Structure formats: C-alpha cells, structure tokens
Structure 1
Amino acid sequence: MIAVTGASGQLGRLVTKALLGTVPANQVVAVVRDVSKAEDLRASSVQVRQGDYSHPQTLAVALQGVKKLLLVSSSEVGQRLEQHKNVVQAAKNAGVELIAYTSILHADTSPLLLAQEHIATEQLIRDSGLPFVFLRNAWYIENYFPAVGTALQTGKVFGAAGDGKFSAASRADFAIAAAAVLTGRDHAGKTYELAGDQAFTLAELAATLAELSGKPVAYANVAETEYKDMLVSFGLPEGFAHILAQSDTGAAQGGLFEASGQLGKLIQRPTATLHSVLQAHLATL
C-alpha cells in the first residue's frame, strides 16, 4: 500500500488523486488529521485514515500495512521537525520500505530560513535508516494567487526579490512527480531538485498579469523589512510575514532558481507555464 500524509491538503490531495491513475484505490491510504475533510477521497474508494503529526498514537494505526509513504511537510512552521520526527518513527515501526519527503529546493545550500526545518528533517530521515527519496520542491505558482486580486486593484505586485528568478511550477506538476516516484522504480537514495522549466522574475509575473487582465500591473521592489510590514498589514502573522519576506531576498540570491529540468523528466512533459496557470486562475475570479 502507498500512503500520503496531509492528504486533505492542497498538495496531498493532488498526489492522492494522481496515484489513482496507476494504483488500485484500495491500495492508496489517505492520512488526514480530520477525516470529514476527505469525503471526496473516500468516495473514490481510497482508504481514509486519521493521523495527526502531533499525536504519534494515531500515526501508528494510520501506517499499518503501508510499504511506501509520502511525507508531505507540515504547514506549521516552527513545529515541523518534531511533527516529522513522529511520522518517521511511526513509519519505521510500521515497516515502511520507502519514505519520500517533500523538502525545499536546494535545502542543503538554500539561503531561505524555510530550508532550516527541511534540511533537519532530511537528516532525521537519513538517520532513521529508512530508504528515502527527497523531493526538493521549488515555489508553487499558486503561492501568488492570494496577491492577484490586490495586484489588479492597485496595479502593483509587491516583493523584495529584485531581479531574482523563481523556477516555480504548478502544484499539480509537483503532485504528478511525487506519484511517479511512489509508483516507479530505482528512486531510493535519490534527491530531486524539482522546479519549473521557465523561470520568471516578479517583474515578469506582473507583466504576465497585465497581459492576461488587460490592466496595468507593474512590480514594486521594496526592502525586506518594508515588505514584511506590508504582509502584516494584509493580515499575515508577523513571524510568517518575516519568513515570506526573507524568502524573497533569498530568491534574489538564487535560492529559488533551478534549471536542471528534473521535474519535467519525472512527469514526462514540459511543466505548466506561469502564463497558463495564471490564465486558468483568472478565469475563476
């Protein structure tokens, strides 16, 4: 059986559905904190099991009989390492034969603060002795969706990345790659730096929004501290706003750029473009 943690989340749900293209539904386990949020998966005959990163006893039950596991990184920044430790220990106790982990691009050399918990988790998994695959994901294009409405209203995309390039890809492409690793062969021990084929700057993001919307949109580069304060004013918690603003300055240092094409190779096609993903999103507004 193949299990996906965080299967009711944005990435986990997409991975779970991608697995159904090649794996019988009764051999797919969706591990979720709240089973009421996975009724669509249950309707597909997927095994839905309750499992909470912070409650090891639930994970022990959820991973029974599982041979391959995708550990989707926790969304609770600052608590991730302890939560991931619980999953890894439960996987080891359950006899899992392969654990794949959604890490961050260039985790071992990244200037992003977000990389710290990821690289620590990678080491935790190595130390466990479990066969592993590290899926080091770049930025999701969807990360910019919450800012689209503001950008169209104000005519500005704000950020602190300067001319830094983002090798972002769609969440769906990362999900398909994860499913390919979970169902494929000869992936154990490998680390994949996964990123979109066509990198873009935030100025190019703004230009694409302008082209698609027919409205004037330009990029406004600001200092990291100013950008953090802007994010706080938009309602983000200060700690998270700091991490996002610092991620922009990390991108300015090349932390979110990758040109190896490994994502496209795993999904066996070119990755979705910024233009196509934004176009589809604007059609929903």
Structure 2
Amino acid sequence: MIVVTGASGQLGRLVIDSLLARMPAGQIVAAVRNPERLADLAQLGVQVRQADYNQPDSLLRAFAGADKVLLISSSEVGQRVAQHAAVIAAAQQAKVKLLAYTSLLHADRSPLGLATEHQQTEALLRDSGLPVVLLRNGWYTENYLASIPSALEHGVLLGSAGEGRIASAARADYAEAAAIVLTREQQAGLVYELAGDSAYTLAELAAELSRHAGRTIAYQDLPQAEFQSILLGAGLPEGLAALLADSDVGASQGALFDDSHQLSELLGRPTMSLAALVAAVF
C-alpha cells in the first residue's frame, strides 16, 4: 500500500493519477487535510484518509498498514521542518519500507533560501533509520507560466535571473517520476536530481512568448529588491514575493540548472518542452 501526503495539492493529485495507471486503486491512500475534497477519488476506490501535518495522531492513522509513503513537502514555508518531522515520526511508527521525499534540486549545495528547510528535512531523514529515497525536484515550469498574463498585459517579462539557465519541467513530469519510483523496488538510499531536458534563460522565455503573441515581449532584468517590490505591488504575499525574487537570483547563480537528464531517464521519454507548455497556455 502506498500513501501520498498532500494528495489534494497540485503535485499530489497528479501523483495519485499516475499511480492509478500503475496499480489497483484500493492499494493507494490519499492522505489529505480535508477528505471531502477528494470524493471523486474515493468513488474510484482510492482510500482517502484524513491527515494533517500539524496533527501527529492523524498521520499515525493515515499511515496504518502502509508499505511506502510519499512525503510531499509542505507548502507552509517556515513551518516545514516541524511538519516534516511529524511525518517522519509517524512513518517510523508505521515501520514503512520506503519513505520518498520531494526535496529541492541539489538541495545540499543550493544557494536558494528555499533550500534551508529541505536541508534540515534531509538531515532528519538521514537520522531516522528509515529506508529513504530523495526526489530532488527542480523548478516547475508552471512557476514561470503564471507570469504570462502580466507579461502580455505590460509587454515585458520581469525577473532577476540574469543569464541563468533554468532547466525546469512540468509538474506532471515530476509527479509521474514520483509514481515510477514508488512502484519500483530497491529505491532506498537513492538520490534523484530531477530537472527538464532543456534549459532556457528568461530572455529566451520572453522570446517564446513573443512568437506566440505576435509582438515583442521583452525581458527586463531587475535587482532583487526591485523585483520583490514589484511582486508585492502586484498583490503577492510578502513571503512568496521574497521567495520568488530570491529564487530568481539563485537561478542567475545556476541553482535551477541541471543537465543529468535523470528525470527523462526515469520517465523513459523526453520531458515536456517549454515550447509545448507555453503553446498550451496560449
């Protein structure tokens, strides 16, 4: 039996969908804070169980009988380590045979501020004694696709990534890779550095937008503080604005680049291209 935490989130739901193509629904547990959100999965035969990272007892119940658990990192930046520690403790009590964790690309040496909690979680996993596999996910292409409406409105794509090359991949690619790892044997101890097959600069992303829009969308590189201020002005929460600006600067330092092709090797096919994903938005 495989348990997927955060199952109603954007990544978790895609992992469940990919698992359903590989195994009986009754052997999949969707662990979620609000089970009513996954009524459609329950109708398919998936076991939907209530689980909250902030409620350790709920995690114990959700993991009952589990062979493998996918810990999808919490979205609550600043609270992740304590929440992940609760999941790890529950997995220990359940004596799971494999705990997979969605970490960050090159988390052990990443300059991103986002990496700190992943580094701390990986340390907890090392000390746990559990069989662990690390899925170090790179950037989601969707993170940049979300900027397309604003870029089209203003005729400019803003960022702080300089000439940094970004080897992002679609969220669905990372989800499928997780499902593949969860349904394979002898994964304990492995570390996957997962990223897209090809990389691009934000100037190249702007050029791709221009081709589809039929007019020039320029890329304007900004200092981190200015970019963060613009994101705040656009209505983003302070923490998210700071995270995105810091991540762009990290991209300028190579933090979002990887050319090992481990993701496509897992998938057995090329990762979805930037051009195809941009075309789908248009």
Above 0.5 in TM-score?
yes
Unaligned 5+ runs, structure 1: none
Percent identity of the aligned residues?
54
Residue 83 in structure 1 maps to residue 83 in structure 2:
yes
Question: What corresponds to 2:268 in structure 1?
Answer: 268
User: Structure 1 residue 40: deviation in Å?
Assistant: 2.3
Q: Say whether residues 1:148 and 2:148 are aligned partners.
A: yes
**Which of structure 1's runs of 4+ aligned residues deviate more than 4 A?**
none
Which residue in the other structure is 1:101 paired with?
101
Local SS of the residue matching 1:3: strand
Distance 1:39 1:213 in 2: 39
Look up the SS of the partner of 1:193 in the other structure: strand
Aligned twin of 1:239:
239
Shift of residue 140 of structure 1?
0.4
Distance 2:214 2:64 in 1: 53
Q: Which amino acid aligns with 1:213?
A: A
Deviation per residue, 1:115-163 (Å, 9 max, x gap): 0000110111111100000000000001123211111111111000000
Return the letter of the residue paired with 1:179.
A
By how many angstroms is 1:186 displaced? 2.2
Q: Is the 8 A contact 1:224 1:245 kept in 2?
A: yes
2:139 is equivalent to residue 160 of structure 1: no
Q: 1:107-126, aligned counterparts within 5 Å?
A: 107-126=107-126
Q: Which amino acid counterpart does residue 124 of structure 1 have in structure 2?
A: L
C-alpha deviation, 1:112, in angstroms: 0.2
How far is the alpha carbon of 1:38 from its aligned partner?
1.1
Q: Amino acid of the residue matched to residue 257 of structure 1?
A: F
Query: 1:278 is aligned with what amino acid?
Result: V
Partner letter of residue 254 of structure 2?
A: G
Contact kept, 8 Å, 1:152 with 1:215, in 2: the verdict is: no
Corresponding residue number in structure 1 for 2:132: 132
Q: How far, CA to CA, are the matches of 2:3 and 2:175 in structure 1?
A: 14
Partner Cα distance (1:169, 1:78) in 2: 25
Q: Which runs of 5+ in 2 are unaligned?
A: none
Size of the aligned set, in residue pairs, is 282
- 1:36 is displaced (CA, Å) by 1.6
Cα distance in 1 for residues equivalent to 2:145 and 2:164:
19
Shift of residue 212 of structure 1?
A: 1.7
Aligned-partner Cα distance in 2 for 1:37–1:157: 35
Q: Which residue of 2 aligns with 1:173?
A: 173
CA distance in 2, matches of 1:143, 1:38: 25
Query: Corresponding residue for 2:56?
Result: 56
Q: How far did residue 238 of structure 1 move?
A: 1.5
The 1-side partners of 2:278 and 2:36 are apart by 30
Q: Structure 1: how far apart are the matches of 2:124 and 2:272?
A: 33
SS of alignment partner, residue 200 of structure 1: coil
TM-score, normalised to structure 2's length? 0.98
Residue 184 of structure 2 aligns with an amino acid whose one-letter code is G
Cα 1:40–1:281 change in 2 (3 A) is: farther
Q: Cα RMSD between the aligned structures?
A: 0.8
The answer as to whether partners of 1:168 and 1:195 remain within 8 angstroms in 2 is: yes
Correspondence for 2:71: 71
CA distance in 1, matches of 2:197, 2:276: 13
Aligned partners of 1:212, 1:2: CA distance in 2, in Å? Answer: 41
1:93 partner amino acid? Q
Which residue matches 2:259?
A: 259
User: 1:32, 1:139 → 2: CA distance?
Assistant: 24
Q: Please list the CA deviations of residues 10-65 of structure 1 after superposition, one character each: whole Å capped at 9, or x if unmatched.
A: 00000011001111100000000111211222122110000000110111100100
**TM-score for both structures, normalised by structure 1:** 0.97
